[in-house]
Structure 1
């Protein structure tokens, strides 16, 4: 399934892993580079676990505009084994108004429907709005494929 509103992209697919396992993988910032299809994520800077709304984790990033830099990600959705999302910001600043949210729906036989939404409808940095979305629909779909591949191991 793919949804693409003017400032929101949502993709989903079934993954052969239970929701608890998918959630645990996503809640570990160390794993985020393995899901990156944009080429921007370099790795976790603080090795944090996403464990509650309000938690902040820092990622090392790169893009041609800013070069090497860090991004703080503020956890805005935390529902164990059901949903996890964050809002990026420059270090020490409030989130810029775009979010990444994963929603997990358990399916039969230990499978999970995983939906990923990138929403920039509340983005506040108008001088940067022309650079959004930072990821497109194809990249989000490919990221879910990488998630499925990462979880495709013996249970």
Structure 2
């Protein structure tokens, strides 16, 4: 069986702490979303994520909808990942290069999805690969602005 995750890495001129603070703030996720589907964080969620946090997002993919995510992996300034009811995960890993830059890896992991074959049939992984490229570019633009 083929691996059911896709990842891309980009070196960004910012320290991991600064990048992580953005990723741990659901209110800022729309700034870096390369898919164009994340509109905003819903009110009532945490301002800063931690392991086990749940947070809601207002989304749009053709139609508007809402989704609730749960943080399932968390290491301060190194790793954050969340999943929603569909089971698949978005994961961000940060590696400090020691020179003011950080290698940022974003991963879409559908190995934990409730319907991995349906995602593959709908070509979601390929679409998400394009979105990851755009997200990493947007993250870099925000960090270097």
TM superposition score normalised by structure 1: 0.82
Contact 1:50 1:75 survives alignment (8 Å): no
User: Residue 60 of structure 1 corresponds to which residue in structure 2?
Assistant: 58
Over the aligned positions, Cα root-mean-square deviation in angstroms equals: 1.9
The number of residues matched between the two structures is 141
Q: What stretches of structure 1 of length at least 5 have no aligned partner?
A: 90-95
Q: What stretches of structure 2 of length at least 5 have no aligned partner?
A: none
User: Residue 81 of structure 2 corresponds to which residue in structure 1?
Assistant: 85
Residue 35 in structure 1 maps to residue 41 in structure 2: no
User: Which has the higher relative contact order, 1 or 2, with Cα contacts under 8 A spaced 6 or more apart?
Assistant: 2
Counterpart-to-counterpart distance in 1, 2:130 and 2:117: 25
TM superposition score normalised by structure 2: 0.88
Task: Classify the secondary structure of the residue corresponding to 1:113.
Answer: strand
Structure 1 runs (4+) deviating above 6 angstroms are none
Higher share of residues assigned helix: 2
